[in-house]
Structure 1
Amino acid sequence: HLSRFRDGQEVEIPEYSHALNARVPSVRSIVASRCDVLFVDGLYVLRHDLVRSQLDLKIFIDVNTDACLARRISRDKRERCRTEESVAAQWESTVLPGFEAFIRPSRLRADIIV
């Protein structure tokens, strides 16, 4: 997708539903206009060799995990009708361990750590 997007071709982007915790059948089609800078963001962007090889500059935003949890609780209570307790339990059981195992190590692949 990234190389096609950079070449100005139409790309279909899968859509995700947080309400369903799954991808949905619909896709969003986008076409890049000519630009000098393209920002690609995502939790797993630096994890994949194929993606990294297409990036000129790789930046990892290193945020304190306490701040991440606080933002997640606020968002999930507001947008997903969840309780603070359920968010905190999910954080401890899956989110933080997954972050430590799969996301934090990708900071070593960044050119800049902010």
Structure 2
Amino acid sequence: MKNVTIIIIAGGSASGKTNVALKIANEILEGEPVVHVSMDHYYKSFANLSFEEKQKLNFDHPSTLDIDLLCQHLDLLKQRKPIDIPIYDFTTHSQTGTSTRVEPSDVVILDGILSLHIEEIRKRGDIRIFIRTDDDIRFIRHLQRDTVERGRSVADIIEQYLTTVRPSYKYFVETSIDHADIIVPYSEYNTIAVDMIATKIKSLLRKN
């Protein structure tokens, strides 16, 4: 049975992690079997809390994630077994109770802000990448995404950024850069870094 290569992509909120993951999967590894998994779907549901109480939670803290389930899923993919990824609703801060079936693949790309901070996840990666993006760019992208895609008000986004997102980035995310094999300065057109990463992945696939 061929080995499964797990690539971990970390970085701050709205740093471009998913864009880099999709560029690797779609533009560079086109034709190769690739699975993309986002840690965003592994938030706990906190069904016992009201919506107002959920809004006060720090979703950039490891305690809000179902780390055990994510690790279990990574192990299953490593064993070439399918998984059912939960579907999370950001507008209500809760799990929907539904899931998406994902079949195993030669390459698994996992992205998440805390993916390099959490040791249980980090140690499962074969290639560890950190996307480094300027704070102001991340904030602007965060503001645009949460107003358009998640129905948040500008005032709520600013408050969340100042009280949880920025402090958690400094404490959990920024320090995890020390665990990265590759550090990518993010820009929309940083194709050289993506090419380098894809070349390494193709090398691993050839060895398999």
TM range, smaller chain? 0.7 to 0.9
Give the partner amino acid of 2:156: S
1:101 to 147, 150, 171: 171
Q: Percent identity?
A: 29
- Residue 27 of structure 1 deviates from its aligned partner by 2.1
Q: CA deviation at 1:85?
A: 2.5
Question: Any conservation in 1 of the 2:91–2:151 contact (CA below 8 Å)?
Answer: no
Matched, 1:30 2:102: yes
Give the 3 Å change call, closer, same or farther, for CA 56–80 of structure 1 in structure 2: closer
The answer to whether the aligner puts 1:54 opposite 2:158 as a matched pair is no
Q: TM-score, normalised by structure 2?
A: 0.50
Q: What is the CA deviation profile of residues 51-76 of structure 1, one whole-angstrom value per residue up to 9, with x for unaligned ones? A: 22221110100111111110111112
* Whole-Å separation in 1 of the counterparts to 2:82 and 2:104: 7
8 Å contact kept, 2:81–2:103: yes
Alignment partner of 1:63 out of 121, 128, 133 = 133
Q: Which moved more, 1:20-29 or 1:62-71?
A: 20-29
Distance 2:87 2:173 in 1: 21
In the superposition, relative to structure 1, how do residues 8 and 80 fare at CA in structure 2: closer, same or farther (>3 Å)?
same
Q: Aligned residue for 1:15?
A: 87
CA distance in 1, matches of 2:90, 2:131: 23
Amino acid at match of 1:68: R
Structure 1 segments unaligned to the other structure (5+ residues): none
| Runs of 4+ residues deviating >3 angstroms | none
Q: How far apart are residue 86 of structure 1 and its match? A: 2.2
Deviation at 1:23, TM superposition (A): 2.2
Whichever residue aligns with residue 31 of structure 1, its letter is E
Displacement after TM superposition at 1:13 (Å): 1.4
More RCO (CA 8 Å, sep 6+): 2
How many aligned positions are there? 112
* Mapped pair 1:113 → 2:183: yes
Cα deviation for residue 4 of structure 1 reads 0.9
Report the alpha carbon displacement of residue 88 of structure 1 after superposing the two structures with TM.
1.2
Q: Which moved more, 1:15-24 or 1:80-89?
A: 80-89
Q: Distance in 2 between matches of 1:86 and 1:54?
A: 35
The whole-number CA distance in structure 2 between the counterparts of 1:74 and 1:52 is 29
Q: Following the alignment from structure 1 to structure 2, what is the Cα–Cα distance between the partners of residues 51 and 89?
A: 29
RMSD of aligned alpha carbons: 1.5
